[in-house]
Amino acid sequence: MNAAAKHPGTLVLVPNTLDLGTECEVDLREVLPQAVIDRAATLGFWVAENAKTTRALLKRVGQLVPLAQPLQQIQIHELPRPPKGGHASKGSPPADLKPLLAPALAGHDVGLLSEAGLPAVADPGAALVQAAHGLGIPVQVLAGPSSLLLALAASGLNGQSFAFVGYLPVEAAARSARIRELEATSRRLDQTQIAIETPYRNDALLGALVQHLQPGTHLAVASGLTLPHARCEMRAVQAWRAKAGQALGDRLPTVFCWLAR
């Protein structure tokens, strides 16, 4: 066994900003600790959802801290795209992620980056972290924004018991059934439910939640978190109905939280 195999590099979970797809590019120093920016500048190997957006972030990093090597020489490998719905078919073999971790097995630190927020939380990078543990590669997570936790904290809903339920169905009947199912779970467990949606469907999901949740259920909507025009509003569904027609827009990432009363 060579020295590199005895001492693998570290898989470093590097948080990203929450401004992807918006018209407002924030100052990295306002949302990421300086230590995260410094660490990102040292890494020459990356795994990410999208190489183009990773290069864009590294360019922003390089404007604040010199990169350890030219951007063109930094190696960025993309994660396999998850199947539609985000889950592999039951019984299907998992993707072989070991090649993506080859630099770490050779002794180099490797950065893992999400498109937005904290890697491996509501993110396909979780599979790479699991693979790293299986290969004996140390995992280091750096502090940074997570839209789910920021929204939960700002909502004032139950932060002792909560569940992230991902995306709700797009088809109207299936979506309404899922909303009622999750509301029943929330009531039974006194548990906050957290969901996200593709920004262009924000208004459709808000309308469905307001229509199908019970009047007394508390609903919080957090949009554009960490951006200058961020907002989080929490009120009973009956109060949301009184404000019918309020639009969230189709560009701002939004998190929806609700708690049945």
- Whether 2 shows a pLDDT value over 70: the answer reads no
Domain boundary among 141, 171, 205: 141
- Whether 3 shows a pLDDT value over 50: the answer reads no
Sign of CA dihedral 116, 50, 40, 100: positive
Structure confidence at residue 24 (pLDDT): 81
pTM for this predicted structure: 0.87
Q: What is the CATH number of the domain that holds 11?
A: 3.40.1010.10
Structure confidence at residue 82 (pLDDT): 63
**Closest by alpha carbon to 261, among 234, 243, 242?**
234
Which tens digit of pLDDT belongs to each residue from 108-138?
999 999 999 999 998 999 999 999 999 999 9
Q: How many domains does the chain have?
A: 2
Q: Do residues 104 and 161 both lie within one domain? A: no
Domain that holds residue 211: 147-259
- DSSP secondary structure, 209-255, as one string: HHHHS-TTSEEEEEESTTSTT-EEEEEEHHHHHHTTT----SSS-EE
Higher pLDDT, 217 or 91: 217
CB 253 within 8 A of CB 17: no
CA end-to-end span of the chain: 60
Spatial distance between the Cα atoms of 219 and 209, rounded to a whole number of angstroms: 8
pLDDT band per the 50, 70, 90 thresholds, residue 22: confident
Q: Do residues 131 and 12 both lie within one domain? A: yes
Give the mean pLDDT of the chain. 91
pLDDT band per the 50, 70, 90 thresholds, residue 83: low
Q: Do residues 153 and 70 both lie within one domain? A: no
- Whether 144 shows a pLDDT value over 70: the answer reads yes
Q: Do residues 9 and 132 both lie within one domain? A: yes
